[in-house]
Structure 1
Amino acid sequence: MSNGAWVGTWRPHRPRGPVMAQFTSPGPKYYVQGATGYVSHIPTKRKAPAYTMHGSRPPPNKDCIPGPYEVLSSLSHRGRKSAPAYTMAGRPRVRVEITPGPASYSPEKSNKVVYKRSPMHSMSFRTTGAKVDTTPAPNLYAIPEVLGPHTVATSASPCYSMAWKSKLGCFDEDLHKTPGPAAYKKPETEIYKKRAPKYSIGIKSKVIGDKATPGPADYELGKVSLIKSCAPVVTFGLRHSEYTTPLIVDVY
């Protein structure tokens, strides 16, 4: 039911539902779209392609193969060719829509709509208010820390903590069980320094081969004519045959 004074040609009326402008701010309750999946994906983020896994297809049924078709005699390559056929049927049923007549209306009740009249008020029960303020209370927010290593808005200094003695062992206990210096073999100095010559005394070696070679006394140094000049040596040979062909040299 309307109430209030006229504002020009418009008169304020009671709102059908709660108006958000009449209440305080709802607080930070905005919905941010997600970046995973494909339903309601945020448009500012890149969406990767999505694939679905399907099961294997059922084996084909051999019984579903169509057999030979029955071709009617009235069908040709240009379509169906037959004489016109008529059937006898009943009269179709007409659906009559019953509309209200002039006596069904009450024009006398339209005065309050057509003509101006004073406002009328009625007394009724109090309506239940709509619950629109569903924002969290101030004590539900967590204020970020300003001390310690987990600060958000301020710079944190280095923090140190004192811990108790470890249960693994003392500081001099070898937890890794590594070998000591005595477990390694000392290398020879000849590996990483210059090595001096070594000599060894062995037995007399055997003569290689049984063939006797000539000694220095077997050579005659006075009969050497390869590196020194000597007198001509003449030898006596056989008489040559008279039928021997003499050496002929072509002289041009």
Structure 2
Amino acid sequence: NCGPDLPGPGQYTLPPLIGCKAQDVTIWRSPCYSFGRKLKEVSSKSAGPGPSEYTVTNVTRFGKITTPCAKLNSRKISKVLQPLPGPDAYCPELHMNATLTRAPAFPFGRKYSYKPPVGTPAPNAYTIPDGRRMKGCLILGKRSEPKGAETPGPAAYGTPKIDLTRKRVFSATIGSRKEPKPPVALPGPGAYSPSYNYVLPRVPGFTINGKPNPCIKPYVGPNDNN
């Protein structure tokens, strides 16, 4: 009796779960911590004054407390004014009265020059014909009958042959009578004798294979332990 000569579970070398590389293939990545790079040394030169150098007198969380005062701004540049007379240079009472002596009225214009009339007849100089007269009819002479074209009529043409325009005219054909053939020498239904013994020699069944040989070792590749 050859026992199974297979490696046990302890014979396989599995990668550990420690580190970021060469880990178990079933886990995407194991939890790990990475170390940062070394920081540069702090320069001996100070970046600014310390907290004690600042003056925090009269400073609150709302801001610095100051006394209200007016701000002095620079003087604006004066613009050059136009040389116009001032209000006291006008004396409207010397030129016109403040009230009107009469009501507003429309003036009359000048007389236009006389133009001679144009030498055209008056409307009553025209003689308009009477409109009750109706338009008469004109009788012309007898026209000659139009001469028709000297071409044959539809009845002058014969019956066209359809075989010339189509591949073949649809028609029914009567074939010859077929001769009866002799019957084939085959056995009839009564000549058969179906039986179970002639159809299947035995009932269908499943076959059981033999027991595998335990002495035959399975094939183990070199990549099975990787």
Larger Rg computed on CA atoms: 2
Q: RCO (CA 8 Å, sep 6+): is it higher in 1 or 2?
A: 2
TM-score, scaled to structure 1: 0.20
TM-score, scaled to structure 2: 0.22
